[in-house]
Chains A and B, each alone.
Chain A
Amino acid sequence: MDAVDFQILAELMVDAQTPFSRVAKRIGVSHETVRKRYEKMKNEGTIRQCTVLVDGHKLGDEGTVFLMLSCAREEKKKEVMESLKQIPDLYMIIELIGDYDFFAWARLKNLHQLAQLIGDIRNLGNIDRMETLLLTQTYFTFSLTPEVAMKCNGMDLPKRP
């Protein structure tokens, strides 16, 4: 990671779809350099995800569910993670250290779907505690560093000043 990499990331964090040629012009390197470095950062995992944000409300979603799960036995954690990955409505699963072992995000479409989802997770076994948090937001933006991305909480999206 050098200054050019940071600049490329900073441009793309405002709008991930900015054409490479525009990024190149703005930071004063060649188009090819931007492309190569982008590919490299993607392959190395520095760029984890490049995605469009979808307003779930427009597709009929009610919001988002945050699930906090606690595993009954330490040695079953891997197994539980693998089974959680198979549940289609969960879109992010994070392993935790603390009161709970997993933090999962899911779409909240309606109460019927929520009941189904919770039932599916309970059926996996090995989970002894579950906390369900219902949120009205359907999409989230992240800002990783104060210097690079604008601060965004909840619904606010980054905007070019």
Chain B
Amino acid sequence: MAKDISLKVYRLRAMSTGSQVDELDALILSILIEDARSSLKNIAKKCGLTSSAVLRRIERLRQEGIIVGTRLAVDGEAFGYPFYATLLIDAADSLEPQVKQTIRAMEDVIICAESIGRYNLCTLIRGRDIHELNNVTSIIKNIRGVNRVAINIWTGNVYYNYAKTFEQANITKADKNGRS
């Protein structure tokens, strides 16, 4: 029962944003998420479409803002940045916007996002060595309005699963009555 309700919510949401994704779009998306450089010919073969039909669909996905860009994730070590850490920051509510702005302006901050939970800012930082991580952390700790910072350093053990979360089944839920 609960599942049915969530499906309905999905459909409504898909309608309200005006984007329609059918099963073939979902398949194309998951192929591109797996490898953004997949050739049109390859995608066409997997979908049973012509290359030009695939191209049209990709262009539409871009136009509708479903595909917003590409990302080449490179091992930071190759660039001399082998250290990463997640900082959870508890900032005073009234000063949160300023704190966020200050942190975002820092060079070694990759992401600084607002979060709902025990901590209100979640920040990813990088460093050339452990001292640099420490420096960044202490600078953040000294920003006015920051109450507490929890640092968690990444080990090299990272597992990517981005493509799987966007597999067909996960996407088409949004639009069971999509365009045919």
The chain A residues found within 8 Å of chain B, CB to CB, are: 1, 9, 12-13, 15-17, 45-55, 57-60, 66, 68, 81, 84-85, 88-100, 103, 106-107, 109-110, 112-113, 131-137, 139-146, 148, 151, 153-154, 157-158
Contacts and interface: CB of A to CB of B under 8 A. Distances in A.
Interface stretch (B31-39, B48-56, B139-147): B31-39
A156 B163 CA distance: 22
A135 B122 contact: yes
Nearest to B166: A54
Interface in B89-112: 104, 107, 109-112
B66 A51 contact: no
Range, interface on chain B: 35 or more
19 contacts: A9-B74, A16-B37, A47-B72, A48-B73, A49-B162, A50-B71, A51-B70, A54-B33, A59-B14, A91-B160, A92-B158, A95-B154, A98-B151, A98-B152, A100-B152, A140-B111, A143-B110, A144-B81, A148-B79
Nearest to B150: A99
B118 interface: yes
Contact of B116 (A49, A81, A133): A133
Q: Mostly helix, strand, loop or mixed at chain B's interface?
A: mixed
Nearest to A103: B86
Given A59-B66, A89-B165, 20 more contacts: A16-B36, A47-B72, A47-B74, A48-B73, A48-B75, A51-B163, A58-B19, A85-B159, A88-B170, A90-B165, A91-B160, A93-B159, A93-B161, A95-B154, A99-B151, A133-B116, A134-B117, A135-B114, A142-B71, A151-B107
A17 B115 contact: no
A58 B175 CA distance: 11
Nearest to B37: A50
Contact of B119 (A90, A133, A148): A133
B180 interface: no
